[in-house]
Amino acid sequence: MSLKAKYVCSECGRGFDISPKLMLCPDCSKDRRPDRPLRGILDVVYEGAFDGELVDPIQMLPVEPEFFPNIPVGGTPLWRPERLCGRTGFENLLIKDDSLNPTGSLKDRASFLVAAFARKFGISEITVASTGNAGSSMAGVGAAANLSITVFVPKDAPTAKLVQALQYGARVVRVDGNYDMAYDLSMEYSARTGSLSRNTAFNPMTIEGKKTAAIEIFIDLGHSPDVVFVPVGDGVILAGIFKGFADLLSMGFIEKMPLVFAVFADGSDAICRAMESGDFADPIRSSTIADSICVDVPRNGYRALKYLREFGGQCVRVLDDEILAAQHELAMLAGVFAEPAAAASYAGFLKSKSNIDQSAETVILITGNGLKDIDSAKRGIDFSENAISSIEEIL
């Protein structure tokens, strides 16, 4: 079965037909300031009741199954890390390991839906501005989907993350400026060439695609968990998790929303500050070891804020040292090697767990693989000469 869907503006509530020509509400996005999050983000809203059995999250997406590329995105394991349960005293701690997606991050969920959307509308080129995971993800999923991918990267984009995109055969355009400049130039390019923009938050399918992580958690458990920890940069994964559970709630699959903890690096917390003060203020230059959650102006800020308020989400900040310690602990006690942004999820849990009932079913969302950023990972361990043993020492 396929549900009928439309776009509804998350601010004014105006409805629109779904089309690749429309990305933001034309009314609400009119007065957008570049130093503030995007306005007029469009939600995908479904009409009619879901009938039949829910076995695959694709059933809850607005593109028919035949358009999705032949690459195994999603279906990542939800499992109980026994030693971490012992260490934390949380008997029902679970890891949802999205680093096991084809390109190594949760971004594949958005790329997967955007690729299907492009194929449905006969579009052959996709453009994206990215500092790392979104670009390499779109490149990999695009390769499987036989789409041309152009990735706009800022001047100082880490080499390691570009290698992946180039391996997948994407065209990489280096912009002489920061991520914001790459973002603006990519928008200009897609407007001129008619290629589809996968820019995060701007393309409504990025939020909708990421919701499948929540749907899978529900399919595996048969109910909604009590608590979910999500690392936050632009706030699209966060909105996707809320959207997934909210859709399940409105379609009658679950009876309650989980309590969602949004985890921020201490040096990149614009959404957190907006929660405290009531609105977004002038940007502060962000800085954290967790590059995937390092943003000055979170693109999905207003939408994320609205979800946090509507469902009583909590914000938690973690320091870089706490992220590095959490990364090492996850690796040592669970065998999960997460990149810093993903380890922030677990760091946020360690910081908040005294306020959570120990019996709560608690999901830690791991969003990206540790091999994507070896330089940061080296900082959390002793990597000096004497940390590595010689044969003489051990025999």
Ligand X SMILES: *Cc1c(COP(=O)(O)O)cnc(C)c1O
* Contacting residues toward ligand X, per CB under 6 A: 105, 107, 133, 200, 231-238, 292-293, 339, 341-342, 367-368
Rounded to a whole number of angstroms, the minimum distance from the CB of residue 161 to ligand X is: 10
Largest distance between two CA atoms of the chain: 73
Considering the complex, what minimum distance in angstroms separates the CB of residue 97 from ligand X?
12
- The Cα–Cα gap between 101 and 94 comes to 18
Nearer to ligand X, 293 or 377 (CB): 293
Nearest CB to ligand X, comparing residues 42 and 237: 237
Minimum Å gap between C-beta 41 and ligand X is: 12
Q: Which residue has its beta carbon closest to ligand X?
A: 368
User: From the CB of 205, what's the least distance to ligand X, in Å?
Assistant: 13
SS3 for 249? Answer: helix
DSSP string, 173-215: EE-SS-HHHHHHHHHHHHHHH-PEE--TTTSHHHHHHHTHHHH
Query: Residue 237 Cβ, how far from ligand X at the closest point, in Å?
Result: 4
Cβ 118 vs Cβ 197: under 8 Å:
no
**C-beta closer to ligand X: residue 127 or 133:** 133
Place of tokens 């007029």: 40
**Cβ-based nearer residue to ligand X, 3 or 217:** 217
Nearer CB in complex with ligand X: 212/292: 292
Tell me how far apart the alpha carbons of residues 124 and 194 are, in angstroms, rounded to a whole number: 10
Provide, rounded to whole angstroms, the least separation between the CB of residue 314 and ligand X: 16
Taking the least distance from each CB to ligand X, the nearer of 108 and 329 is: 108
CB of 268 closer than 8 Å to CB of 295: yes
**DSSP codes, 328-391:** HHHHHHH---B-HHHHHHHHHHHHHGGGS-TTS-EEEEE-BBGGGGHHHHHHTS--SGGGS--H
By beta-carbon proximity to ligand X, the closer residue of 3 and 231 is 231
Closest approach, Cβ 243 to ligand X, in A, equals 12
The Cα–Cα gap between 134 and 162 comes to: 11
The secondary structure of 92-111 as a DSSP string is TEEEEEGGGSTTSBTHHHHH
